[in-house]
Structure 1
């Protein structure tokens, strides 16, 4: 599994627009991209204007497909003037414990 986590700082008066854009990206990606395993929006517990996207894909190539797709482009079109970011937090593959059941 390939994990991606990014942060965005959103203008306080545009939070709802950002949330709507992120939820649309998550819903549409889940429907159209079988290689997208998880796509969650998280708000920072100390800063209500900082949001994180926590995403999981089959592999790095699947994330590349997501970035080349229409939902990714539409998300950035919608948030272009209301958010700063993304700030990359995580981008990498899960290390699986071979001894775990």
Structure 2
């Protein structure tokens, strides 16, 4: 069963550009991972520096592999001081999702 993830990242304004650039790089790398079905990056329309990811993985194992990937670990290390608040990660199981 597919695993859906919504990750909200609350960047400090002074790190907004660097955060977006790093996440754009993550998009390319994560979409190439086995078991990744979707990895989309969004920004809020109000101009805030907050970014959001919508992710779909084949299963928990694919998600775990993503979290263990070198590019994910590198992003976590590089961005450790970029956040105004801790990221909010919601892992969801689909009930009724359009195909």
Cα distance in 2 for partners of 1:28, 1:59 equals: 18
User: 2:17 and 2:6 mapped to 1: Cα distance?
Assistant: 20
1:25-82: per-residue Cα shift (whole Å, max 9, x none)?
Answer: 1111222x12111111111223521111111111112101111111210111221111
Is residue 4–residue 56 contact of structure 1 (8 Å, CA) maintained in 2?
Answer: yes
Identify the residue that residue 53 of structure 1 maps to in structure 2.
Answer: 53
Gaps of 5+ in 2: none
Matches of 1:94 and 1:17 in 2, distance apart?
A: 33
Q: How does 1:63-82 map to 2 (within 5 A)?
A: 63-82=63-82
Q: Provide the aligned length of Structure 1 versus Structure 2.
A: 97
Asked which structure has the greater CA Rg, the reply is 1
Q: TM-score, normalised by structure 2?
A: 0.84
